[in-house]
A = this chain, B = another copy of it.
């Protein structure tokens, strides 16, 4: 007998993950605020529910992949939240990037209701999800992790058990995101100083990415940076700031100083003040350049 599972939040990533679960034969009960995003999944047999509560009523395991703390809170503990109907022993598998505070609240509240809460943060972009090649960082009760493994394997090529406290998966995720911004700051200082000394950043980028600095984080972001591609890319300054704030708050929770994170924070704030809030966060480079007296980005194309 095929098992029904719930999936709430069908953005690009959630949609791809839900699709993989269906590919593996699971029947999905799905919810998304914008119903249309579920259309193709429904065509393939998914059941659309009108509320998160309705999803949880029909299933014992509910995945959620929401945008942030607030939307996760609403979908979980709001009036029609999944927690209002999830049965005792039911599992909420939360895949969203959350603050540790929000993750703790989820654990506490679900536990009070006799429900289980597992954090399963993923690494990779939607195409990787579609190919079943995400990295899945799981934290929560050992037994629940075991139980969920087959599901994780539908969209993940590697499953990491990072701990028994769900909040740990969230911290790993925040840490990996921080390393993106931190690498951008690092490369920004190098590019700006070299440019000021008359060295083409593209030259140093080529040397870097062919020697010790060959990771995707160097290649992907470095390329956007040396090409001043601040506008057509993925995620904005405001998202970087949200992530950095959550990482710094985690530092405060555990009383660990994080000077690099502070530098990133200030850089992103100054990008916002420069009017770049909605541009790709690689625009951090522009702040470093201009503080260093280099002329504004080429806009000539």
Contact = CB atoms under 8 A, between A and B. Distances in A.
Interface of A: 123-124, 135, 137, 158, 160-163, 165, 167-168, 171-172, 175-176, 178-180, 182-183, 185-187, 189-190, 192-194, 196-199, 203-204, 206-208, 210-218, 241, 245, 250-263, 265-267, 269-270, 272-275, 287-288, 291-293
B263 A259 contact: yes
Contacts of A272: 255, 293
Given A179-B190, A256-B292, A257-B291, 5 more contacts: A179-B212, A196-B255, A245-B252, A251-B269, A257-B265
A175 to B, nearest CB: 5
A30 B193 CA distance: 36
A175 B194 CA distance: 8
A123 B211 CA distance: 8
Given A212-B216, A262-B259, A262-B265, A254 B193 contact: yes
Contacts of A266: 257-259, 262
A175 B211 CA distance: 13
A54 to B, nearest CB: 32
Contact of A292 (B212, B257, B265, B291): B257
B212 A180 contact: yes
A158 B260 contact: no
A218 B218 CA distance: 11
A261 to B, nearest CB: 7
A189 B254 contact: no
A241 to B, nearest CB: 7
B189 A168 contact: no
Identify the 8 closest CB pairs spanning chains A and B, nearest first: A273-B293, A262-B262, A257-B266, A256-B292, A215-B215, A255-B272, A196-B254, A255-B273
B197 A250 contact: yes
B208 A179 contact: yes
A265 B265 CA distance: 13
A87 to B, nearest CB: 30
Given A123-B211, A293-B255, A167 B197 contact: yes
B217 A158 contact: no
A206 B162 CA distance: 11
